[in-house]
Amino acid sequence: MPTVAIAGASGKLGGATLSALLAHSLVPASSVVALTSSQPGSSTFNSLAATAPGVQVRHASFEDGASFEQALKGVDRFFLVSTPHIELDYDRRVGDGGEGEGEGGDDGKWEEVPDGEGREKHHRVAIDAAVRAGVKRIYYSSLAFAFDPATKAGMSSSKAGVMRAHLRTEAYLASLRSSGKFDSVTIIREGLYAESWPLYLGYFSPRGTDDERTEVLLAGDGKISWTAIPDLGVANAAVLAAPDGEFDDRTFYLSVRPGAAKSMAEIAALVGAARGKEVKVKIVGRPEAERYNVKEKGLDPAAVRWWTSTYEALEEGECEIDDGTFEKLLERVGVRPQKVEEVIEKMVKKA
């Protein structure tokens, strides 16, 4: 049985994948390596070891390539979950940077983070360590943007700033595969988390007492194939446990199909129904949305600018995914995917 390593095993997606591997007996615990940036002896490290008996727990930090190399020794399949440090991707202000410049969100001059300095910097640390450790098959958790509704296929470009580091990482992996550094590179464009609807809905709080808005200003709208994190964990686990060859050198999406996709206006209506107070979406365009979130909500201009580009991608149809891989994998394991309606109901009621 191949040894499988999961990066970010104490995080949301990595943790869900680890849990699914074990819960559905897809891979023996003794053949699983759970990687965490937490140090041995820390509460997170110990908790991971306690909740996954039989699994090897190893320290691996994106800040330390040597730790990743050591942690990946003896590993056959490496599931690289992207780093959560999104701040690395934020556009940078250029110019004289006078006090107050850019307070409206898009004022002043901005430039993209150069290639190799965004989140892809962390990913390359782990990838290069995998090469040195002799890992032959790597699986990368990309993101479910850059879908072309016309061709029903993935693209190599996206309107969304959040996708930039993923595309750069995909390209880097492709170059290493071409030079023979890996026997296989699998790109998994993970469905947009159903649990992340508050972020897309204008940084909305599920707690009614914390967010009394009945109208949410957004830069744009479009359908999203919302997919629950536990279900993504199951699908990822099924991919990692599949026979050699089934997913080798493939790029695919793990998302619900278009029939289950919902726009932000539809999400707002569901949130309103769940909390018993109507919520509507108002499309105001990117400049006004950025101005509101920076000046009215007090959010970081760089973060807002980076995130607001997401809505351009929604309007292009990048996130209404039509790929049957996800549902086939869940059927294989005997799992029914959660609906975004169910996720919203739980989150609002819990809050």
Specify the residue for token string 């799992």.
335
Q: Residue 150: pLDDT band by 50, 70, 90 thresholds? A: very high
DSSP string across 237-292: HHHHHSPTTSSTT-EEEE---GGG-B-HHHHHHHHHHHHTS--EEEE--HHHHHHI
Q: Residue 32: pLDDT band by 50, 70, 90 thresholds? A: very high
For 71-130, the pLDDT digits (tens) are: 999 999 999 999 999 999 999 998 744 444 444 555 578 999 999 999 999 999 999 999
Would you call 44 helix, strand, or coil by DSSP?
Answer: helix
Buried b (16+ CB within 10 A) or exposed e, 26-47: bbeeebbbbbbbbeeeeeebee
Q: Which residues pair with 80 in a beta bridge?
A: 140
Which pLDDT score is estimated for 96? Answer: 47
**Contact (Cβ atoms closer than 8 angstroms) between residue 50 and residue 9:** no
What gap in Å lies between CA 88 and CA 95, rounded to an integer? Answer: 20
For 272, residues 6+ apart whose C-beta sits below 8 A from its C-beta are 214, 278, 279, 280
Q: What is the DSSP letter of 294?
A: I
Which pLDDT score is estimated for 232? Answer: 99
Which pLDDT score is estimated for 113? Answer: 96
Q: In angstroms, how far is CA 76 from the centroid of its own chain?
A: 23
Residue 5 Cα distances to 9, 18, 41, 56, 308, angstroms: 9, 9, 20, 9, 34
What gap in Å lies between CA 137 and CA 239, rounded to an integer? Answer: 12
Kindly tell me the sign of the dihedral angle through the C-alpha atoms of 45, 51, 57, 62. negative
Q: Domains (ranges, CATH) in the chain?
A: 4-350 (3.40.50.720)
For 210-264, the pLDDT digits (tens) are: 788 999 999 999 999 999 999 999 999 999 999 999 999 999 999 999 999 999 9
**Contact (Cβ atoms closer than 8 angstroms) between residue 186 and residue 248:** yes
DSSP string across 68-112: HHHHTTT-SEEEEEPPS-GGGGS-EEES---TTTTTTSS-SEEEP
